[in-house]
Structures are given as C-alpha cells and as structure tokens.
Structure 1
Amino acid sequence: MTRSLVLWVWMGLAGLGPVQASERPDWQVLERNVLAQPGPAAQVLRAWAVRLPVGSEEHDAIQALMGSAQLRLGDDVGLSHTLDTLRHGGQLAQALGDCLQGERLYVQGDAEQAERWLKRAMAGWPDAALRTAIPRLRCVEWLARVKTERHQFIEAANLYRRAIGDGKTLSLWRQSLLLSGLAQTLLYVGQWEQAQRLNTEAAGLLDQMPDALAQSEVSRVESLLYAMVPNRADEDRSLQAMEDAVSQARLADVVAQEVKTLAELAGKHVQRGDVVRGQQLAAQALELAQRERAPYLIDLAQGYLGLSLVVMNRQDEGLRLMQGVLDRLQSAGRLTPMLELLKQQAWALERVKAPELALRAHRQAQALAAEMTLNEQQAQLLALQAELDAAQIEHDRRELEAQRQLNAQALQGRQLQVRVWSAGLVILLLLLPLMWRWYARSRAAQRALAVITSQLQHQSLTDALTGLPNRRHWHQHVAHQPQASGGLCLIDLDFFKHINDRHGHAVGDEVLVAVAQRLQALLPPPHTVVRWGGEEFLIRIVDTDAERMRVWVTRLLDVLSRKPVLTQAGPLHITGSLGWGVFPVAPHGVEVPWDTALAWVDALMYHAKQQGRHRAWGLWSSQSTDVDAIAAGVNDPGRTPVAEGLRLVEQRGPGAVQ
C-alpha cells in the first residue's frame, strides 16, 4: 500500500507542466516501476510522453518503456499501436521498436526469433544515441538472456560485460542485476570461482543500496552456487538461499521473478524428497505465470510441475506435461532450459524405477549436450578465424596503401629533374626495409594462423583430460564406412558418481586418466579407444569374431579391477559394466549402421549395470536376419528374445557377485 501511494504521488508530480531544461526522465526509476507496478507506471509514462517533445530521443525511449508496461499488462492492442508508432519513427525509434519486439517474443517463449530482432536492434542503434542510458542497456541485457537460453554462453558473457562497462553510472541495484546475470552465465560454463566473486560483488553493492528485486536475484544465483560447489555441494544452504530469493521477489512485487524462484524452489524440494511441497510450489508458480500471461514462465512452471507429478507416481500425466514443454522449448530454440529439463526428467524416471524411459531421457540429454557443445566449439573457431581474417585484411590494406604511395612518388619522380630522381631513389631505399618487415610479419602471421588452426583441429578431436580421441573424432573416423564392422564395446565405470561426491572431481579425474592409460596399454593401434563422455569409454577391436571378442572382454574386466587406482585420496578399487557385440552379426552377416550398433551395445551395458555391475553382456549371434527383432531382444534381455535364435552372453568380472 505504501509503495503504491508513493508511486501515485510521484505520478502526480511527474505530470506538472512542460519539461524544464534541467528535467530529464530517471530511466532507472521508470524501469523499476514497470517491473513492479506496470499499471501505475504506464500512467507515469503517459505523463512524460505528453511533456516531452515528439520525435526526441527521450520521447522515443518513453514509448519503448510504455510498450514494456503494456506487455506486462497484457494490453495487446496498446502494444501493437506502440510498436507501429516506433517503426514509423527515426533510426533510434526503429531500433527501440525492434528491441521491444524482441522482448515481446522472449516473453512469448520464442527465443530464436527474439534473438533475430534484438540483434537487428543493436545493429541499427545510432552510435551517439542514449549510449549509457537504460533503454540501450535493457536491449543488451535482453540479448544476453536470449544468448544464455540458446546455449551461446561466450556471446552472452561478452554482452553482460559490455553492459556492466557501459553502466558504471547506474544505480547500485541496477549494476547488481547485471553482475548476477554475468555470474549465472559463467556458472553454466564451469567458472565457479569467478561466478562466486561476481555474485559476492553484486551482494556488496546491495549493502550500500538495498533493493528487493536485485537481492532476490543475488540469492537465486547464490542458491545455484551452493548446489554446484566443486566437490562439496551444500543442498541445505542452496535451499535456504532459494527460499530467501522467493521472499525477496514477493517483497519486490515482481511477478516474473517470483515465478522463476518459486519454480526452482519446487525442483529443490522434489529432489530432497518433499514431493508434496514441491508440487504445491510448482502449482503456485504456474498459477502466477498464467495470470501474467507469459508463455516462457508458464513453460518453466509446467516443467517443474511435471517433474513433481512423475516422482509422485503420476508418471503418464507428468511425462505428458514435460513433453509438451520440451517440444515448445525445442521449437523456440531455448536449448539451455531444454537440456536442464531433460536431465531432471531422467533423474525423476530413475527415482521411480522406470529404467527404459530414464535411459531414453538420458540419451536425449547426452545427444543434445553433445550437439550444443559442438555448435559452441564451431562458433568459437569461426570467431577466431574472423579475427585472424580481419587482421590479415587490415595488414593487406596497409600494404596496398603503402604501395600506392610508393607508386605515386615514383610517378611524380619521373616528372622531376635529376635531383628529384635522386631524392626519390633515397625515399625508395628507405621504404625497402619497411616493406621487408611488412612481408616478414605477413609470413609470420600466416605461419601462426596455420599453427593455431592445427592446434584447434587437434583440440576439437581430442579429450582434454585423458588425451584419448573424443566423440567427434569417432564420427570422423567411421564416416567413410556407414556399416558397423569389428568388435564394439562400451564401458561405463561403476559408482563413479560416488567417487566424485565423496572424494571430489579432482580424484575422479585421476581415475579417468588411469583407466584411459590402462585401456590404451591393453589395446594399442590399430584398435581404437575413445572417451565417449563422462565415465564412458568406447572401444573398437579390428579383425575379431565373437570367440576372440569374449577373450578381449574378459581381459578388459580384469584390467579394470585387477589393481586399485592410486589417487590423492588413497587407492580406489575400480570396476566397470560392459556391453559388446561383433559386427556384422554372425552367422548370417547381418549388417547395421554404426548408430544402431552403438545403441545395441549401450542397451547391453545398461543391462549389465542392472544385473549387479562389474560384468559384461554381449551379442554373440542371431539366427534371425530381422534387425527389428534383434533390437527387441537386445533392448530387453531379461525376457525371452523376440528374435528366435538370438544368443546373448554374460561375463562376470573377477569376484563379481551373482
């Protein structure tokens, strides 16, 4: 009540008379009111629109903020009118209109189209117009949010840094929001310490100028930090921080922030086993999001509500709800929340003991993560190549300019007397060393470019931790041979998550390196050992059959468990679960593509884990030549195989229990 009264008094003062020379809109106050009280804020903005000269930069910016208020009020007619007015204005008005359209598409859940409009806005923004004011920074910040959701973290971080640099004169609460946004983006790429430092800096600013909205975002990022502390996640403090974020969001009266924090708090309660509380919080978030008429918030709340329903054994209802959200996220290009929801879905299905569905969700998450990582690497390579190309172009331009000047001097020299010819010759001799230096630098730059290109290509094909070929290397390796051939084996280290949780990721990395060394020692070229991802290794053995492959698998089980791995936490006993097969499938030589062969050995490896770990299951032979029938038997070894004559074999590691 007090906040609303103050706002209405301020509105009354804002509407008094024409603007004086010393009066200008306080953009931060206006933006803050749009977020918390869009209805009264719209009245204030209308008062400013009347007082400011039509066509001025401030008038155009007021119109854009008016559009943001109309978006939050659900005033589609008013918003369309505002967009049409801006698009028929000058260059700044058009850029503000494009930015508002991008904000509108983001709220509607379409991140891909939002990115297009926001980039267009930034490209069309006049250089001298409102550079450090809130209207421009809001556009940069919206684009950074969209980049984060589209898994373009490097570009998002650069945009946040740009906004922080341009916003040094902003109020402390506004700077705090930008710092927390950058902290969350860096957290996605594993830069935990830098993210913590930035969020601590954001919290320090609020000690000087308290603000509920900024404090809510600081607490929300703090909750994410506690949940992702390397080697020692603190779920209790993470839960408390998220509850503080919800309280501050309610105090700030910003519905979007309240929905976001409520939904994430619901997920934390579900993961801690308090499913009923999680379902209640998710339902509250969904009710608020629907009242706000913001599809991107509705998707967030529905995703966590579906998660709670799955864990409450309302599996069909929960999965249907989550699948609808996943489909909309994929269609809109919102890859980051899509990946997070797939991971949550896999966890929930494992929790309710639905292994086949959990495996499918896990595979979808793995495939999406691999695709996004590859796209991110390609984007980095293209950016680096663009920088090098720009440097080369600039060098060539300078060289051509120098050559042009030299030619002009030579032409002028031919028209002068003998003394001028002598002077020209002296100038030419003086320029020759400079030209030689330019040439030497050009050659050095080309050599450096070749070295960097070679290094980047090697890095993109090699796992940085173990030095083994990675998944991309494997796909290039088999690209020329569409049908699977030879022995194929997929290994997953048993209880590896327990090692990470108990001893830390540094010890887990030592285990992965030691296992990689053992596998390489056992299987030198022409065999292939690949770091497939996480604690999984893929092996291809050439020139083998089922009998010899079984011997290889026995040796693999033995080499993994024969002696402990020596780590900084002491010796650790390691075992693995294996799935294998020899292709084409004997005795009729059934050929399948590599993707199918990988799916079969993955299913057999998963079955080995279900049967007690420290063992292997393999596809020995099939009397049937029906690929679908073989797949049915491989994917469910516990029942009578659909393919008559399908032979699957089990091998237990040394000391494995029945």
Structure 2
Amino acid sequence: MLFTLSVHASNPLDADAEAALDAYLLLIGQDQHQEQQQLERVRTQLLNSPAYGSQTRYLAMQVLHHLSYDEQETWEPALIKLMEHARAHPSGDVMSEALATKIYALLRQDDLNAAYKTMVELELFLPNAEQPRVRYFAHNLLGTIYLRDNQFELASQNLHAAMEAVIETEGERAGIRRTHLQSQLAQLYADMQNLEQGLELIEQAISGAKIYLPDHLPEYYLSKGYIEGELGLHEASIQTHYQAIATAHEYGYQGIVLLSLNNIGAAHILLNQYQQAIEPLKQALALATELEDELTLQLIQMNLGYIAVKQGSVDQGLQQMRQSIEYFRQHGRRSDLERFLGDFADALQHAGYTREEAAVLREQRELNRELFTAERERTLAEMQQRFQAREQAHRIQRLEQDNALQERTIENKQLQNRLFLLATLAAALAGVLMWQLYRKVRHINRRLKEANKQLEFQSLRDPLTGLYNRRSFQQRMAKRWQHKEHRHQGEERDALILLDIDFFKQINDQHGHAAGDDILVEVAKRLQHSLRHQDQAIRWGGEEFLLYLHRIKAKDLNALVERTLYLLAEKPFQAGGQSIVVTATAGFITLPFADISEEQLNWEKGLQLADLALYAGKARGRNQACGVTGLKVPLETLISGFDQQQSISLEQLECCDVAGPEVQRHPLSS
C-alpha cells in the first residue's frame, strides 16, 4: 500500500545513537569485528526507543555493512527489515534513506531495472526530506547513477542538490562529502567537455583531499592530469602526473603509477619531445610486465614504436606497431583499436607507406562505422529500457493508489449500505473517479505516443549535428526503390558524394574534442545550406558525411563537387577561440552508374565504389575528389568481385579528378 507523505511528518532522532553512528563511520574499512561491535552498541541504545529516524539510519548501516563484506545471507534480510520499518514510519527522511539504501544494494547486484523503478519512488519522497545528511546521501547516489548513464542534466541537478545539503552541515564528514562531490562534479564537467570548470573543481577536490581524504590524492591527480591533457596543457599535465605517481607510491597504488607513466610519455609525444618520452614509457613497460597487464604493455609498445618511426628507425618501429595492432585486433576493445589505427596511419604517412596507410585508414573507417552504429543502437535501447522501467514504476504507483481508493470505497459502502441516498452519492462519486481515471489513462497514452514519436525522430537524426543519420538514408533509398524513382531516364541522374574531413584526429589532438565537435557542427551547416530541398545531407559516421543529390545533370556534378570542396576549405573554421583551416577528401558516383541499371549495380555497391575513390584521394594527398565515371572491365567481372567479396581496384574503373583549393595547412597536418 502506498502511504502519503503527510503521515509521520516529524522524524525523531536519538542524539546518543546518532553520535555512535558517526563514530561507526570512522571505523569503516579498518576492522570488521570493531565495526560490528559498534553497530551492536547502537542497537542496544535504540531498544524500545521512539526515535525511528535513528532506527532507520542504524538499519541502513546494517545493510551497507553486510554488503561491504559480501554477506549475501545477511544483507537481504536486513534490507527487508529496513523497508518494513520505513513503510511503518513513512516520513520524507525515513523513506528517502531506506529507498536510497535499496537502490545502492540493487546496483551492487547489477539489477538495473529494479534500481530504476526504485529511483521513481525515491524521487517522490526526496523533496520532503529535511535532514541534510539524508539529502546528501540520496542526491549523491542519484547524481552518480545519472552521471554513469550520461544523463548530464539530471546528474548536475542531483550533485548540486547534494552540495547544497553539505553546505548545511559541519564537521569532518562535511569536508569529506564536499571533497567527494567536487571530484564527481569535475568528472561531470569533463564528460560534458566543460574542461575549464572541471579543472577548477578537481583542483578544489585536491585541496580538500590533502586534509580529509589523502588516500584519494593519487586518483584526483590522475583526473587532473587527464583534464589538462584534454585542454592541450601537456606540460602541466606531465607535472601533475608526476604528482600522481609520488602519492600513488605512498599508498601502494601501482595501477595509477602505470597509467600516469604512460600518460607522461603520451604527453611528450604530443609535444614532439620524442626523446623525453622514452624513459617514462620504459618505466611503464617494466611495471606493466611486473603487473602482468598485457593490454597496457601493448599500448606502451605502440607508443615506443611510434617514437622509433619519428626518430628514423622506420622498419623497426612499424614492425613493433604492427605487432601491437594485431594484439588489439585479437584481444583489445574495438573502440581502442579504432583509435590506435589512427596513430598507426600517422606513422605510415610519416614513413611514406601510402598504400598501407590507405588500407589502415579503410579499416579504421569501417570500424568507426560499426562502432557508431552499435553505440547509436545501444543508446536507443537503453533509453527505451529506462523509459519502460520508469513508466512501469509509475503505473504500479497509480494502481496502488487506485487499489487504496477502491478499498476505502468498499469500506464506506459496508458502513453506509442502509442509507440509499448516501449509496447513490457514493456511486456517483465512483463514476466521477472512474471518469477521471479514464482521462488520466488517455493522457498517459498520449504522452507515451509523444515519447515514441520523439524516440523515432531521434533515431533518424545525428544527435551532434542534427543531420540525418545512416538509418534515415537507408529508409530514403528503400522508398526510392519502392516508388521506382531509380528508373528515371534522361540526362539527369541521382548522385552520391562521400566526404571525409582531412586530418581530423590531429585537430582533436591539438585543439581538443570540443573544438572537433564544433567543426563537425559547422561542416554540417555549410553542407546543409549548400543543398537543394530535394537533396539530403547525412552524417555517415565519425568525421564522414554523405550527400545524396536527387536528379542532377552529370555535366554539372563535377562543378558541384568542386564548389563543395571550396565551401569547406576557403573560409577557416572558428573553434575554441582559434581559426582552423579544414579540408576534405571526397569520392562520388552517379546513380544509375555508367548506364548500368540499378537492378545490376545498386546504390550500396555504388557507394562502395565511391568509398574506393575517396581512399584513392586520401592516398594522393587529400583535399581533392575522385569520381567514378565508367568501367575498364566487363560488368560481370566487377559484379563477381562484389559477390565473392574480392578486392576491387581503382585500375578497373574510369575516374575523373577534382582538385580542391590551395590552402595554408596547419603545421601538424602537413
């Protein structure tokens, strides 16, 4: 049964028990036996006590104590007892503390759906919580969950509410909580690419940790070094990572030492200080070997191989990088492999291995597309799952309220069944309530339909640029086929232009990911504004864009491609307060292609040919376009290559080249 928040509005506490529980907090992590003895003292103090607020805190501490020592057979009964106690005394503070404890326990068991449902109920009671300690506990927990879930607005609201609660408290615990929240908020702002504010907060957290949480200093220094690196403050980042190493040695955190040594080497590489990078990387190599951390060991080998290439030992360095790349193909995360392929391509470009560079860039592009699609599908699935979980929780609450209402109606009828007039009135009231319930259901259904429409819209748009995404384009081409638009004749044809921003990884490395995102948004705007209403601009994945042109004369296509290259390169982009010259490389093709019907060579195969042309442009120096205009081999040979998944070479195709404008490229991109 769902209780209203007006019941038991007060929340009596026992001062001695509260002091004893504060003392218990200081024992956590030191000695399990002493912790249990202190909790037993609190239990004795609260025997027959009316202070159910303190009783709630004690029962919650029991659950957390058993969870911390993985005592499965004791924490579950303790949680049941806590929730029974809270339901009997449902004030805002009691229910908020009990429900927050339950959420924490569910998260420890990886029961995310149950945790999301419980969050709905917690958010109902939390506005009525009065104790700062309870508000801190609940809001900090909610903020941490939303931060992990990349729901930045909700994370910010809850973490700042937790900070407001801390401001109302005093003593050592307030300092500990404030320091922890500063580190959480620093992570939030770093994830949101608000790096300057993230740096300011992590510096505040470090100052607090020196007083209250010295054993957290290595972790905080590591976070600060990462944020400084993202800001391009590589020299400052190096010094901060050395501080992380010094404090990590003090507390025996070898993992942080390893990460910081590798980050120091990477920072020196970004500063082109290759000789200075070698010594910390060698130290990291020895430590990774000692810790049997094969993944980090291969990453370090990758960095050392890159340095060898830059210092002239080309064959040795490339061989070392090839071995690490092969390891990541077999054992690493695909997201890491995609990033490392970019570094490998840079080394190949420096060495002049253009053919292998083109192959590596192609592999990176395909992997980027797969990751982009998988991440989009995962995000949509999680959004739908969370929506369903929260909607189900709301539905359960409404049913509980309706059941409670029906029970009270039945009781009233039993007491007043001899009075016909009152019975009639009760029936009328019931009809009104049913009508209101019907209206509520209709309102909820409308909201659900609106939410589904919003999800459908989001599934067809790229969240960063607002352009159509791959799925939207595939739907467009399916309708085009269904309506037989692919069969139009005459001089006009449809066309596909596949563009890739040149040296985009180097833009991210030098100017930061926020600047890279700004450039992607501005590229999208320029492309969108250059198209006709019947055309379509698509973010195909990463830094790659696709233009679909509906009915254009073949003789006008080259001029349009050239105009697009100039549109991007002639006017520098403004990002992060800096002026950045951006060029692109493109591959293009008409549909149908070379008077070959699309029943024989459809748009997917045409796009593969445009992609091949794009990579030819990359290998020839970028800032240009290559168009596929015809075949040098019989059509059957080309189709056989597609069907048997054989490599198709540019020598089999007739092509035309379109040059981009002369530009003064950034030094790192030359």
TM superposition score normalised by structure 1: 0.65
Cα distance, 1:214 vs structure 2: 1.7
1:35-57 C-alpha deviation (Å, 9 max, x unpaired): xxxxxxxxx7799999999xx99
Partner of 2:629: 620
Task: Give the 3-state SS of the residue equivalent to 2:625 in structure 1.
Answer: strand
Report which stretch shifted further, 255-264 or 574-583: 574-583
Partner of 1:253: 252
Aligned partners of 2:261 and 2:284 also within 8 Å = yes
Q: Could you tell me which amino acid in structure 2 is paired with residue 604 of structure 1?
A: A
Q: Could you tell me which amino acid in structure 1 is paired with residue 272 of structure 2?
A: G
Partner of 1:602: 611
Partner of 2:495: 487
Task: Give the 3-state SS of the residue equivalent to 1:492 in structure 2.
Answer: strand
Assess, with a 3 A threshold, how the Cα gap between structure 1 residues 542 and 227 changes in structure 2: closer, same or farther: same
Cα distance, 1:538 vs structure 2: 0.7
Cα distance, 1:261 vs structure 2: 1.9
Partner of 1:333: none
1:348-372 C-alpha deviation (Å, 9 max, x unpaired): 4314415222442354245324422
Task: Give the 3-state SS of the residue equivalent to 1:524 in structure 2.
Answer: coil
Partner of 2:402: 399
Cα distance, 1:650 vs structure 2: 0.5
Task: Give the 3-state SS of the residue equivalent to 1:273 in structure 2.
Answer: coil
Q: Percent identity?
A: 21
1:395-419 C-alpha deviation (Å, 9 max, x unpaired): 2443354345446655765x51xxx
Alpha-carbon distance in 2 for matches of 1:51, 1:422: 62
Aligned partners of 2:301 and 2:321 also within 8 Å = yes
1:618-641 C-alpha deviation (Å, 9 max, x unpaired): 111122333576898866x5xxx2
Assess, with a 3 A threshold, how the Cα gap between structure 1 residues 570 and 193 changes in structure 2: closer, same or farther: closer
Task: Give the 3-state SS of the residue equivalent to 2:459 in structure 1.
Answer: helix
Aligned partners of 2:301 and 2:320 also within 8 Å = no
Alpha-carbon distance in 2 for matches of 1:315, 1:429: 84
Partner of 2:5: none
Alpha-carbon distance in 1 for matches of 2:574, 2:324: 47
Aligned partners of 1:242 and 1:265 also within 8 Å = yes
Give 5+ residue unaligned stretches, structure 2.
1-19, 44-58, 80-105, 119-132, 167-171, 310-316, 487-493, 665-670
Alpha-carbon distance in 1 for matches of 2:581, 2:39: 75
Task: Give the 3-state SS of the residue equivalent to 1:491 in structure 2.
Answer: strand
Assess, with a 3 A threshold, how the Cα gap between structure 1 residues 315 and 351 changes in structure 2: closer, same or farther: closer
Cα distance, 1:422 vs structure 2: 0.9
Q: Could you tell me which amino acid in structure 1 is paired with residue 238 of structure 2?
A: L
Task: Give the 3-state SS of the residue equivalent to 2:586 in structure 1.
Answer: strand
Assess, with a 3 A threshold, how the Cα gap between structure 1 residues 596 and 286 changes in structure 2: closer, same or farther: farther
Aligned partners of 1:487 and 1:545 also within 8 Å = no
1:90-149 C-alpha deviation (Å, 9 max, x unpaired): 446999xxxxxxxxxxxxxxxxxxx9985169989xx9xxxxx9xxx9xx99xx89x99x
Mapping of 1:241-640 within 5 angstroms?
A: 241-293=240-292, 297-313=293-309, 314-325=317-328, 327-330=330-333, 339-340=335-336, 342-353=338-349, 355-356=357-358, 357-403=360-406, 405-406=408-409, 409-410=412-413, 415-416=417-418, 420-430=419-429, 432-464=431-463, 466-478=465-477, 486-493=494-501, 516=524, 519-520=527-528, 522-533=530-541, 535-543=543-551, 547=555, 549-550=557-558, 552-557=560-565, 576-583=584-591, 585-586=593-594, 588-589=596-597, 591=600, 597-622=606-631, 623-624=633-634, 625-627=637-639, 637=650
Task: Give the 3-state SS of the residue equivalent to 1:538 in structure 2.
Answer: strand
Alpha-carbon distance in 2 for matches of 1:304, 1:647: 44
Q: Could you tell me which amino acid in structure 1 is paired with residue 495 of structure 2?
A: G
Aligned partners of 2:66 and 2:74 also within 8 Å = no
Alpha-carbon distance in 1 for matches of 2:180, 2:407: 52
Alpha-carbon distance in 2 for matches of 1:172, 1:214: 13
Cα distance, 1:489 vs structure 2: 0.8
Partner of 2:654: 647
1:176-202 C-alpha deviation (Å, 9 max, x unpaired): 467536643653353546644542442
Task: Count residues with an aligned counterpart.
Answer: 545
Assess, with a 3 A threshold, how the Cα gap between structure 1 residues 594 and 386 changes in structure 2: closer, same or farther: farther
Task: Give the 3-state SS of the residue equivalent to 1:190 in structure 2.
Answer: coil
Alpha-carbon distance in 1 for matches of 2:35, 2:515: 61
Cα distance, 1:602 vs structure 2: 3.2
Aligned partners of 1:342 and 1:364 also within 8 Å = yes
Task: Give the 3-state SS of the residue equivalent to 1:119 in structure 2.
Answer: coil
1:53-77 C-alpha deviation (Å, 9 max, x unpaired): 9xx99999999989xxxxxxxxxxx
Alpha-carbon distance in 2 for matches of 1:425, 1:253: 77
Task: Give the 3-state SS of the residue equivalent to 1:621 in structure 2.
Answer: strand
Assess, with a 3 A threshold, how the Cα gap between structure 1 residues 286 and 366 changes in structure 2: closer, same or farther: farther
RMSD: 5.4
Alpha-carbon distance in 2 for matches of 1:305, 1:564: 37
Cα distance, 1:430 vs structure 2: 4.6
Alpha-carbon distance in 1 for matches of 2:27, 2:326: 40
Task: Give the 3-state SS of the residue equivalent to 2:110 in structure 1.
Answer: helix
1:428-456 C-alpha deviation (Å, 9 max, x unpaired): 44555555444434333332332233233
Alpha-carbon distance in 1 for matches of 2:437, 2:112: 39
1:13-47 C-alpha deviation (Å, 9 max, x unpaired): xxxxxxxxx8999777774x8xxxxxxxxxx7799
Assess, with a 3 A threshold, how the Cα gap between structure 1 residues 358 and 221 changes in structure 2: closer, same or farther: same
2:208 to 188, 205, 208: 205
Cα distance, 1:248 vs structure 2: 1.9
Assess, with a 3 A threshold, how the Cα gap between structure 1 residues 521 and 90 changes in structure 2: closer, same or farther: closer
Cα distance, 1:278 vs structure 2: 3.6
Assess, with a 3 A threshold, how the Cα gap between structure 1 residues 118 and 303 changes in structure 2: closer, same or farther: farther
Aligned partners of 2:230 and 2:513 also within 8 Å = no
Assess, with a 3 A threshold, how the Cα gap between structure 1 residues 259 and 599 changes in structure 2: closer, same or farther: farther
Task: Give the 3-state SS of the residue equivalent to 1:649 in structure 2.
Answer: strand
Partner of 2:223: 221
Alpha-carbon distance in 2 for matches of 1:464, 1:23: 47
Q: Could you tell me which amino acid in structure 2 is paired with residue 300 of structure 1?
A: T
Task: Give the 3-state SS of the residue equivalent to 1:626 in structure 2.
Answer: helix
Assess, with a 3 A threshold, how the Cα gap between structure 1 residues 49 and 399 changes in structure 2: closer, same or farther: closer
Task: Give the 3-state SS of the residue equivalent to 2:496 in structure 1.
Answer: strand
Give 5+ residue unaligned stretches, structure 1.
1-21, 34-43, 67-82, 96-114, 128-132, 331-337
Alpha-carbon distance in 1 for matches of 2:162, 2:448: 31
Q: Could you tell me which amino acid in structure 2 is paired with residue 380 of structure 1?
A: M
Find out whether 1:119 has 2:113 as its counterpart.
no
Q: Could you tell me which amino acid in structure 1 is paired with residue 110 of structure 2?
A: K
Cα distance, 1:302 vs structure 2: 2.6
1:188 to 188, 191, 194: 191
Cα distance, 1:244 vs structure 2: 1.9
Task: Give the 3-state SS of the residue equivalent to 1:529 in structure 2.
Answer: strand
